[in-house]
Chain A
Amino acid sequence: MLLEQKRISIRPLSDSALVVQLDKEINSIIHKNIMNLVKLIEEEPFEGFVEAVPCYNNVTIFYNPISVRRHVSHVPFKSAFEKVSASMMEYLDMLDDKMDIKNRLIEIPVVYGEEFGPDLEYVARFNNITPEKVIELHTKQDYLVYMIGFAPGFPFLGGIDKRIATPRKEKPRLSIPAGSVGIAGEQTGMYPLETPGGWQVIGKTPIELFTPKTSPPTYLQSGDKIRFIAISKDDYLAYKEPKQ
C-alpha cells in the first residue's frame, strides 16, 4: 500500500454513506490515490455499493445498508458501516504504484474583464497589480480538477497563485451567468449554471460545462487538468455562434 495507514480515517456521513479520508494534506498525489480508489471500487463494487463522490483528500462512499447487512449475517460485523469500512481497507491494500490514471489536459478559453468579468478590476486592486497581471497569473499554470460539486459540472480546482487570491464578496450576487470564471480566496472555478454566488467574477468561458444529454454529463471530471487560455471578445462571440 502506498499510503500511510495512520493517516487514513473512515467515518460515517450518514447511515448510508461513509467518508474515507486518505490524508489531512491536499496534494495531487493524495488525489491520484483517491481517483485510483474510486476506479477500483467502481470496477469491482462491493455488495450494496451505490456511488462514490471524490473530493480533495477524501471520497464519500454511498451504500445501501440493508443490502450490505443482508450479505453479512454470517460474518462478525455488527453493522453495515463496519463491513463497508473493512471493504475500504481491502481496496486500499490493492492500490499500487502501477495504477496510473492519465490526467486529461483540457484548455478552457476565457474572455477576461469588462462585462464578462466585472470583478477583474477589484481583484487587481485588492492585490496591487494590474488586470493584465491577474490574467497572466491566472492563465500561466495548470489546475487539477480535485472535485465536481456545488452544482452539476462545477469544478473545484487546485490553488491559484497567491498573488491573485481574493476573498469572496461580502454580499453574494443574486445571479451569476453560466460560464462565469471566478476567484474565491485561493480557489478558482467556473459556474456551469446561472446561480447566485459570492465568487469574484473575472471572466467568462463559452464552454458548456453541464450537458445533461451526454454521458458523462459534464465537460470536466475529477482528475482532469485544465489550462485557461485568454481569448478576445470576438473569439468568444464566434465560439458562441451556432456552428454551420
Chain B
Amino acid sequence: MSIEILQSGLLATIQDLGRFGSQKYGVIVGGAMDPLAVRIGNILVGNEEGEAAIEITMYGTEILFKEDQLIAITGGQLDPHVDGEKLPMWRPVLIRKGQILHFKALRSGCRAYIAIAGGLEVPEVMGSKSTYLRAGIGGYEGRELRTGDILTFGYLTEHSKTLTKQLQEMPSHFTWSVNYSSFYTFKKKETIRILLGAEYERFTKDSQKKLISSPFKLTVNADRMGYQLEGTKLMLKKQFELLSEGVTYGTIQIPSNGQPIILMADCQTTGGYPKIGQVISADLPRLAQLQPGSEIRFQIVTIDEAEDILIEQEKDIHEVKIGIQFKVAG
C-alpha cells in the first residue's frame, strides 16, 4: 500500500504531535502546527491519536493513491478534490486505487492534514516521526515532501479494517462529518487568549494596554517557526539584557522593533527576547489556521482559566471520539 507525491505544493511535511524529551539537547518539539486536527483525523480513520499525518500548507499538493486507502482530511479548507470531484472533509473517506487527491485552493484556514489508516511508515527519530526541517531529521528523509516521493503505511487496526470494509461496500464516504465549530471559526479575525508573559510588567503601561486593546495583523512572514505580527509598537519601560531561557509554542516575544513575534511549532527551545504573553494551548489550533493578513486580538486569561479551557476542549474531543465510535458501530 502506498501513495506517490505528484506535486508537493507550497509545503507538505510529515508531522505527529511532536518530539518530546530532547529539548534539553536543543532539539525542538516541532510536530503539527494544528495538533487538534491531527488527533481528530487519526480518530476518524481508527489510528492512535498521535500517529503522524501529512501537513499540507495552503495549496497545490497532489497525491496519487496506488491502492484503495482509508483517509480523513481535517484542518483548513484547502479545497480537496479527488478526480475533479470535491472531497468532503472531517469524515472517513475511501480513496480508490488510481485516484488523485488534489488540494486546489486556499478557501479558509491555512493547513490541512491527511490522516491515513495504518499510519505513515517512516522511522521514529528521538521518539517522533515529525519532520525537523532545520536539522534535516525525522519525517521523510528529514525534509519536505517532493514530487516522486513514495509513502507507505503500517498495519490497519481492527477499527480501520471495519471502516474500510463499510466504505468499500457503499459510495466511498459517509454522510456525516465531525462538527468542528466548537474548535474553529476559520475566520480572518480571531481573538486569541493569552497568559501574561514573564516580562509583561517591564513593558510601558501604554504598551500593556495596547496589547489587548489594539488589533495586530499577521504578516506574510508566518511559517512553522514563527508568526511576525504588525501593529502598535510595544515598548519596554527601559531596555535590559535578558538571558536565554525556555520558550515554547505560543510564546509572544517582543524584539527591539516593538513588533510581536509568536513562536510556532518549530520554534527554538530557548529564546532571549522579552516575553509579553503566551498563547493558551487550547487556542493554538485556531492560531495555526490563520492566513497571512488576518487580524488578531489578544485577550488575557489566568492560568486557572487556561487550564479549564483546555480541559473543556479535551472533553469536546472526547465527545467527538465517542460520537464517531457510535456512528461507525451503528
- A residues contacting B by CB (< 8 A) are 11-17, 19, 26, 38, 50-60, 62, 65-66, 69, 78-81, 147-154, 156, 192-193, 195, 210, 212, 216-218, 221-222
Contact = CB atoms under 8 A, between A and B. Distances in A.
Interface string B121-154: 0000110000000110100000000000000000
A78 to B, nearest CB: 6
B245 to A, nearest CB: 4
A153 B23 CA distance: 10
A53 B310 CA distance: 23
A14 B24 contact: no
A192 B246 CA distance: 19
Contacts of A59: 246
A148 B20 contact: no
B13 interface: no
Contacts of A17: 246, 248
Contacts of A78: 304
Contacts of B250: 14
Contacts of B135: 151-152, 193, 210, 212
15 contacts: A13-B198, A16-B281, A19-B198, A50-B20, A51-B24, A55-B243, A59-B246, A62-B248, A66-B310, A66-B311, A79-B307, A148-B24, A148-B26, A150-B270, A212-B135
A82 to B, nearest CB: 9
B43 interface: no
B280 to A, nearest CB: 6
Interface string B97-110: 00000000000000
B278 A13 contact: yes
B57 interface: no
Interface hub of B23, B28, B135, B245 (most chain A Cβ within 10 A): B245
B25 A218 contact: yes
The binding surface of chain A is classed by DSSP as mixed
A79 B304 contact: yes
Contacts of A55: 243-246, 270
Interface residues of B, number: 38
Contacts of A150: 26, 244, 268-270
B23 A51 contact: yes
A60 B307 contact: no
Nearest to B135: A152
Contacts of A60: 245-246, 248
A62 B23 contact: yes
A187 to B, nearest CB: 9
B156 interface: no
A66 to B, nearest CB: 6
A51 B21 contact: yes
B245 A14 contact: no
B210 to A, nearest CB: 22
